[in-house]
Amino acid sequence: MVADLINDMLEQTLKLQGHILEDIEDIKAANHEKLLDRNEDKLEMMQNLASKKVELNKALHHAIQNNEDINQYRASVDQLEIELKKLYLLNARLGSIVEPVRKMYKEIVDDIVCEYGSSIIEVKA
């Protein structure tokens, strides 16, 4: 059970890393629609990872209570931790790319609002 949870979490982590790398490439290529298409999947995967973490902690606790040697999982848990750190760094990299783009769009909208007021479309009756 513990090994299966670790493997599932590792697989999810690697998939998320792949999605974030795709996001970075799509931002560079201005494929914003593809970014939006992946957002729901990424959110679901992150929620799944969070719930698997709770399950893993429970499974490890249960294994300890049953006098199971949990050191057998040490290498797998260490690898999972390494991949989760990579995921964190990729998220930070994505954030550092997205934030300037967000600011740029905000400045464009602010400029338009300053020039044309809060209503871009003028309605004449």
For 58-91, what is each residue's pLDDT tens digit?
A: 999 999 999 999 999 999 999 999 999 999 999 9
Structure tokens at 26: 């799509």
Q: What is the pTM of this model?
A: 0.77
Quote the crossing angle between the two packed helices 2-28 and 74-116, to the nearest 10°.
30
Query: What is the 8-class DSSP label of residue 122?
Result: P
Per-residue pLDDT, 110: 78
Half-sphere CA count of 124, side-chain side, radius 13 A = 0
